[in-house]
Amino acid sequence: MTGALYAEDTGEGARALVLLHGFAGSHRVWEGVRRALPSGLRTIAYDLPGHARSIDLPGAGRAKATAQAVIDDLETRGIARCHMAGHSFGGAVAVLAAHLAPRAVASLALLAPGGFGREIAGDLMMTRAQAGTDSEIAAAMQGMFGTHCTVSPESVAEAIALNAVAGQREKLIEISGVIVRDGEQGAFPAHMLEALSMPVHLAWGTLDAVLPPRQAENAPRAFTLHHLEGAGHMLPEERPQAVAHIIAQSLPDA
pLDDT tens-place string over residues 102-122:
999 999 999 999 999 999 999
Which pLDDT tens digit goes with each residue over 1-44? 347 899 999 988 889 999 999 999 999 999 999 999 998 999 99
* Residues in CB range of 206: below 8 A, 6 or more apart: 213, 227, 228, 229, 230, 231
Count the Cβ atoms, other than its own, within 10 Å of residue 100: 14
Which pLDDT tens digit goes with each residue over 166-197? 999 999 999 999 999 999 999 999 999 999 99
- b/e per residue, 228-238, with b = 16+ CB within 10 A? beebbbbbbbb
Q: Are 175 and 50 in contact (CB under 8 A)?
A: yes
